[in-house]
């Protein structure tokens, strides 16, 4: 094996190992020591679900076996025991690790499009649909009245063959 090829293979293997080993990176499935108070523990778990595991791909620290995720879980429990509110805990962690750690991005200038986008799109789409729907009101055909010849012909065909085409 030439050196180039070997180096290539090694780098590919390394890339695969990194990119493939994501959901359970060989790490242990452990169990944290929960807080003694079940209400506080429930709050801690809810906060865990809002925080990103920084060394994993798109997992919350609640879903991750990575060591860093465990450290963060412990940190969250510590802050809660110290009497922080949920918001204060999230602010504390975001202050340390940046907003990237928050799975629910805060609403500010950077995320304006992200948060307002869906509503804006819905309104634009609805506006477009209404414009389209307004047109036929002027149409005399829809002012009910008797069936057109064409419709009567179709009705006859349908009755004749006992078919339901809807």
- Shortest Å distance, C-beta 31 to another protein: 4
Phi, psi for residue 60 in degrees, rounded to 5: -80, 165
Residue carrying structure tokens 């429990």: 77
Q: Which of residues 8-37 bind another protein (CB under 8 A)?
A: 9, 12-13, 15-24, 26-32, 34
- Report how many residues bind another protein under the rule CB under 8 A: 72
* 159 contacts another protein (rule: CB under 8 A): no
User: Do 23 and 69 touch, CB atoms closer than 8 A?
Assistant: no
Rg of the Cα trace of the chain?
30
Residue number with CB closer to another protein (81 or 117): 117
Nearest to 46 by CA among 71, 69, 76: 76
Binding mask 53-92 for another protein (x = CB under 8 A): ----xxxx--x-----------------------------
User: Do 80 and 44 touch, CB atoms closer than 8 A?
Assistant: yes
- Shortest Å distance, C-beta 79 to another protein: 19
Q: Which of residues 121-150 bind another protein (CB under 8 A)?
A: 121-122, 125-126, 129, 132-133, 135-137, 139, 141-142, 144, 150
> How far apart are alpha carbons 111 and 62 in whole angstroms?
25
Residue number with CB closer to another protein (83 or 134): 134
For 14, the token pair is 């390394």
């Amino acid at each position: 094996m030439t050196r180039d090829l070997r180096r290539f293979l090694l780098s590919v293997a390394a890339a695969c190992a990194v990119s493939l080993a994501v959901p359970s990176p060989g790490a242990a499935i452990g169990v944290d020591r929960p807080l003694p108070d079940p209400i506080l523990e429930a709050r801690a778990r809810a906060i865990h679900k809002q925080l990103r595991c920084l060394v994993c791909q798109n997992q919350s620290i609640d879903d991750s076996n990575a060591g860093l995720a465990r450290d963060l879980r412990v940190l969250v429990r510590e802050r809660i025991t110290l009497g922080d509110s949920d918001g204060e805990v999230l602010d504390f962690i975001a202050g340390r690790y940046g907003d990237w750690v928050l799975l629910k991005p805060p609403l500010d200038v950077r995320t304006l499009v992200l948060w307002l986008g869906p509503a804006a799109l819905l309104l634009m789409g609805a506006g477009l649909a209404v414009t389209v729907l307004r047109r036929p009101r002027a149409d005399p055909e829809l002012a009910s009245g008797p069936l057109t010849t064409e419709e009567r012909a179709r009705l006859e065909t349908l009755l004749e063959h006992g078919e339901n085409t809807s």
